[in-house]
Structure 1
């Protein structure tokens, strides 16, 4: 029951952004279907809002632009209709059966628009500019859902629906992934990343944001693997060592590039009073350190001494520390 309770807490952390403006890329078909239902009932304004959300979910898919153009046409917004017809004609496959029909619809929309030309509303232009600035020189994600991610959500709330969201999402995903991994790398002099419980909560939120932006299976696989790291860290910092042991082992097998996860497993074993397992894990990791990073071997010896002390093997612990003092320059 304790394990289920912890998993529930972790899942709650991983869902903290589900009420945000961004919809996941996987929602495109269902939103488009709802938009079509509203359109067929003559609820064109409602359909417009749904088609905008469908485009935001998958801005590289052509059909949402055509349907949005038609919904604008039937509310006499001919300049907007022509604008979105253009997007469809650029994105639609050349073998699409309706290309000639859509070209005719666009021509009619342009004719009826007359001198009226679609212009990006000022609030959208400003939101887009702010996002581009933050993506270029700011933070991808800050506590509370700020940074470029927060500005991206603001842009979506303005009703922005444009094919360049594809590039915006790719850039934002890359920035989020860079920030995520940077927070998981220890400083050169450290064996662990310096991260508090709150830091790991923010990492969980970054992962949710990336999943909302992407449908690429390679990216999603990496997100799922990194999620195990977040879960293990949260379990350890939440004082759930038994669960942390299992989660740390899963994280290690899923993320062989993150060497510090061995320390999470060892600390979790120690806190769970599984001292022999912890000592064996220390020895295994010490062998790896001798081959890959001998400068950090002293940390393993110090941790071994600590575990021995907790086993009431003070004499053995003292011998380890004495050896460590002799070997330390």
Structure 2
């Protein structure tokens, strides 16, 4: 049966189609294979525009490995009479799958599609909206931020690109660069500020750090330092729990962050603070750990002796050694 050809939805209509397909796939299984399955069902039912949207989602999810989606979307575009788009996706399929058993048949289909393209027809399949969004992404990745409190920045531009239906092999490099940028930005933000033992972030600030790490995992976890991602995420969760007064939970999270990324000074400081509230920790163990953390800050060039003196004094006072604690604090107050 030859289905009636119609144009694939553009602009807002394409966004609606993509959204429908996205939510047709359960949140726990949003991968390329699932999107391809949805697309195949739509294609076999003659719903070619819906098939295109599903295959586009598959490519956006796995730009280099969802090769079958490139071939299938090329065929769906052909059914819709959008021959330039069809030809381009056939070409990308050939580039990504040079050894595929489907390649010979795909090349034959491509030749037939090219014959349907009329002289003077536009060959650039990118829409003005997509071109503008790509420029915005490139600019944001150069200047930052990669993610702001409003969901903007480089990630916001990338999200807009996806919503336009942009799906090409170049998305893979975009994902890698964006994930690396988000992680680098987060690591810079959690680094203690000059003269301070930890980062100057409030609860919302730490929540945004966690969101950055979630985006990194979503984009390309294999392309970045996994320990840094998990460590920063645990660090942010630790300070969130600390702000709530959940010191035992915060201590465990700081310890987890340290096990993954010992260089996270804010996690080292957090663990030292939470140890003070853990009365099961012996004084000698606590003071020894404070010495270790102080050495790390000194090695990093961020030594802030005053804070560590106060920390030792609190530990001594909690252990019932009030005179020794007072002696430390008096020496601090009389220092030039």
TM-score between both structures, scaled by the size of structure 2:
0.82
Matched position secondary structure for 1:95: coil
Are 1:290 and 1:297, in contact at CA under 8 Å, matched by a contact in 2?
Answer: no
User: Which of 292, 303, 310 is matched with 1:302 structurally?
Assistant: 310
1:178-217 mapped onto 2 (5 Å cutoff)? 178-216=184-222
1:169–1:216: structure 2 CA closer, same or farther, 3 Å change rule? same
Equivalent residue for 1:113, pick from 111, 117, 139: 117
CA offsets per residue over residues 182-212 of structure 1, 9 Å max, x none? 0111134322121111110000110111111
The Cα of 1:220 is off from its aligned counterpart by: 4.0
Deviation at 1:287, TM superposition (A): 4.4
CA-to-partner distance for each residue in 1:62-95, whole Å, 9 max, x for gaps? Answer: 2221111111111121121111111111111x32
Change (3 A) 1:147 1:288: closer
Deviation at 1:223, TM superposition (A): 2.0
Alignment of 1:127 with 2:133, yes or no, is yes
**Counterpart-to-counterpart distance in 1, 2:283 and 2:255:** 12
Judge conservation of contact 1:26–1:215 (CA < 8 Å) in 2.
no
> Per-residue CA shift, 1:155-204, capped at 9, x if unaligned?
10001011111121121112111101001111343221211111100001
Alignment partner, residue 53 of structure 1: 57
In 1, the alpha carbon distance for the partners of 2:168 and 2:28 equals 16
Superposition CA RMSD, Å: 2.7
Matches within 5 A, 1:1-329: 27-61=31-65, 62-92=67-97, 94-115=98-119, 116-119=121-124, 120-216=126-222, 219-270=225-276, 272=277, 274=279, 276-277=281-282, 280-287=285-292, 289-290=294-295, 293=298, 295-310=303-318, 313-325=321-333, 328=335
Distance 1:278 1:143 in 2: 41
Q: How many residue pairs are counted as aligned between the two chains? A: 306
Q: Deviations over 1:110-154 (max 9, x none)?
A: 111222233321111111111111112231110121101011001
Q: Distance in 1 between matches of 2:296 and 2:258?
A: 19
Could you tell me how far apart the structure 1 residues matched to 2:56 and 2:95 are?
A: 17
Q: Deviations over 1:93-112 (max 9, x none)?
A: x3211212111111111111
State the structure with bigger RCO (CA 8 A, min sep 6), 1 or 2.
1
The runs of 5 or more residues in structure 2 that have no matched partner are 1-21
